[in-house]
């Protein structure tokens, strides 16, 4: 019979002391235990103090010898001398092969205590008119996400297991490729949108970020890969108009702006009906809610993954348009650099958790406009430090035509020659080469293609 949770003792001081005794008698196990057990998992304050002391010794490079541990203890420990207390703790220790159960128990009881604490906190705050109920929910979701992060930890592998897995994949090389970007030149450079990786695609306004997102991810979805778009800037209808205009794949097709205004001919309507039929049922989810926080996006992405899975479909790409519109937490109180680092780090973790690629669209700083050569460089990425570190791939979009159209000295043939040119500038590629990829674009149709 399963014991009701209400009958479970949430404070397991004996188990905590047994874990400490096990570590004291088998000091070499501390490194492995430290990856699974944090000091806050201990409910007994003295046990937590001892564990922190053991970690401090370990991190400073000292072995957990009896004299070193005893020296960390107060003279008297609950009526026992520190030597007697240490001996009693060691007597409770278990062999390393049995420590897995202790670790599981500590994590389980800590998680239950945290859930209870969150429930109490919600009850107390929910009846206060000065509290925003949505802020309460956001705080609780963030706390529960923290708990869930410790639900399972991947066991350490080895070079042998890594090589074995890689060699096995060589028999089916498609397993090593990510979801298609819809562009052969980019797939060749980036190996597609790789699962577990963070892609940052940035550009100044007018460079084609929205066009790239809609055109690329439409083709990703048409290849059978699941896509979830969180559009914090555009509505569903604008994304739909862009996808329809792009799908017609015809230079004489109506621009997406004309579709949104209803300025289409009878013949265009027939073409649009055919295009909409071709896009029907694509595995592409769109959430056009404005100003979402990371916690809200992560929760909705998990829901999208579950809904796709229920239909026998994987979620392969999550795209956020754009990074600057993600509502930051209150942790850094307006420190833009720290807030950007927090957001990029969170989405990198989300990519790994969901086993999909996460794409962050981002604006570049105005410094680009002050230079003669307006091709972006890494320092143009707003609040770039942490983003550069977190991203697996950083790409910049650049259209010379945009700047030529504003230059009164530009020659007509220069403007015409640059009209359909787009460059994807790969400035970071952790698993491949960097470089400039020339592409063809029709911004009015929201279309991006391989350069002919």
* pLDDT tens-digit readout, 346-400: 899 899 989 999 999 999 988 888 888 899 998 888 666 678 888 999 999 999 9
How far apart CA 334 and CA 130 sit, in angstroms, is: 22
**Among 36-40, 148-152, 324-328, where is mean pLDDT lowest?**
148-152
Segment 138-161 mean pLDDT: 65
Residue that wins the pLDDT comparison between 21 and 219: 219
For residue 134, pLDDT beyond 70: yes
CA proximity to 401, closest of 413, 414, 416, 418: 418
| Sign of the alpha-carbon dihedral angle for 347, 352, 354, 355 | positive
> How many CB atoms sit inside 10 A of residue 66's CB?
14
For residue 71, pLDDT beyond 90: no
The angle formed by the CA atoms of residues 142, 350 and 341, to the nearest 5 degrees, is: 80
What mean pLDDT is reported for the chain?
A: 86
| pLDDT interval class at 58 (50, 70, 90) | confident
Strongest mean pLDDT among 50-59, 85-94, 165-174, 369-378: 369-378
Domains and CATH numbers, the chain: 1-148 (1.10.860.10), 177-450 (3.40.50.300)
Q: Which residue has the tokens 């491949």?
A: 432
For residue 153, pLDDT beyond 60: no
User: Which pLDDT score, from 0 to 100, does residue 169 have?
Assistant: 61
**pTM of the predicted structure, to 2 decimals:** 0.71
For residue 52, pLDDT beyond 50: yes
Percent of the residues in the chain that have a pLDDT greater than 70, as a whole number:
90
**Among 6-15, 20-29, 347-356, where is mean pLDDT lowest?**
6-15
For residues 255, 256, 258, 261, the Cα torsion angle rounded to the nearest 10 degrees is: 180
**Encoded tokens for 272:** 């649009």
**Encoded tokens for 69:** 């541990």
CA proximity to 387, closest of 316, 303, 326: 326
User: Which pLDDT score, from 0 to 100, does residue 26 have?
Assistant: 84
Dmax (CA) of the chain: 93
> How many CB atoms sit inside 10 A of residue 280's CB?
7
For residues 21, 24, 29, 33, the Cα torsion angle rounded to the nearest 10 degrees is: 60
Segment 205-211 mean pLDDT: 95
The tens digit of pLDDT for each residue in 75-129 reads 887 778 888 888 888 888 888 877 788 888 888 888 888 899 889 988 999 999 8
For residue 6, pLDDT beyond 60: no
| pLDDT interval class at 7 (50, 70, 90) | low
For residue 330, pLDDT beyond 90: no
Contact 427/377 with Cβ under 8 angstroms?
yes
User: Which pLDDT score, from 0 to 100, does residue 197 have?
Assistant: 95
**Among 5-9, 240-244, 345-349, 429-433, where is mean pLDDT lowest?**
5-9
User: Which pLDDT score, from 0 to 100, does residue 1 have?
Assistant: 44
Strands 421-429 and 435-442: antiparallel
CA proximity to 362, closest of 258, 209, 244: 209
Contact 260/449 with Cβ under 8 angstroms?
no
Residue that wins the pLDDT comparison between 150 and 42: 42
Burial class (CB in 10 A: 0-12, 13-18, 19+), 10: middle
Segment 22-43 mean pLDDT: 82
């Amino acid at each position: 019979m399963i014991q009701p949770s209400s009958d479970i003792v949430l404070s397991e001081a004996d188990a905590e002391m047994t874990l400490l005794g096990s570590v004291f008698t088998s000091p070499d196990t501390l490194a492995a235990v430290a990856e699974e057990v944090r000091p806050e998992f201990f409910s007994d304050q003295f046990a937590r103090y001892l564990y922190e002391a053991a970690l401090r010794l370990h991190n400073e490079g000292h072995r957990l010898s009896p004299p070193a541990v005893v020296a960390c203890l107060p003279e008297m420990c609950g009526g026992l001398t520190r030597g007697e207390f240490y001996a009693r703790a060691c007597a409770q220790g278990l062999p390393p092969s049995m420590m897995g159960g202790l670790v599981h128990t500590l994590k389980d009881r800590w998680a239950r205590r945290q859930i209870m604490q969150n429930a109490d906190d919600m009850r107390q705050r929910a009846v206060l008119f000065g509290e925003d109920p949505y802020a309460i929910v956001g705080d609780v979701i963030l706390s529960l996400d923290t708990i869930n992060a410790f639900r399972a930890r991947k066991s350490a592998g080895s070079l042998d297991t890594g090589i074995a897995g890689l060699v096995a994949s060589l028999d089916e090389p498609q397993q090593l490729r990510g979801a298609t970007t819809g562009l052969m030149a980019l797939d060749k450079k980036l190996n597609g949108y790789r699962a577990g990786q963070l892609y940052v695609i940035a550009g100044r306004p007018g460079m084609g970020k929205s066009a790239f997102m809609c055109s690329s991810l439409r083709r990703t979805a048409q290849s059978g890969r699941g896509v979830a778009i969180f559009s914090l800037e555009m509505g569903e209808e604008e994304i739909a108009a862009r996808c329809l205009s792009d799908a017609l794949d015809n230079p004489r097709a109506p621009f997406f702006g004309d579709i949104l205004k209803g300025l289409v001919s009878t013949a265009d309507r027939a073409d649009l009906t055919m295009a909409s039929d071709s896009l029907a049922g694509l595995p592409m989810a769109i959430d056009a809610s404005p100003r979402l926080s990371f916690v809200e996006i992560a929760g909705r992405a998990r829901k999208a993954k579950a809904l796709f899975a229920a239909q026998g479909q994987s979620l392969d790409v999550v795209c956020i348009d754009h990074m600057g519109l993600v509502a930051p937490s209150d942790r850094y109180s307006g420190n833009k650099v720290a807030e950007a680092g927090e957001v990029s780090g969170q989405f990198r973790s989300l990519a790994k958790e969901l086993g999909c690629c996460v794409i962050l669209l981002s604006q570049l700083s105005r410094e680009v406009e002050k230079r003669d050569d307006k091709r972006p460089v890494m320092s143009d990425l707003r609040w770039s430090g942490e983003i550069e570190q977190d991203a697996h791939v950083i790409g910049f979009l650049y259209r010379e035509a945009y700047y030529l159209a504003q230059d009164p000295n530009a020659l007509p043939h220069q403007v015409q020659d640059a009209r359909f040119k787009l460059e994807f500038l790969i400035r970071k590629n952790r698993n491949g080469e960097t470089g400039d990829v020339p592409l063809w674009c029709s911004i009015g149709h929201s279309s991006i293609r391989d350069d002919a």
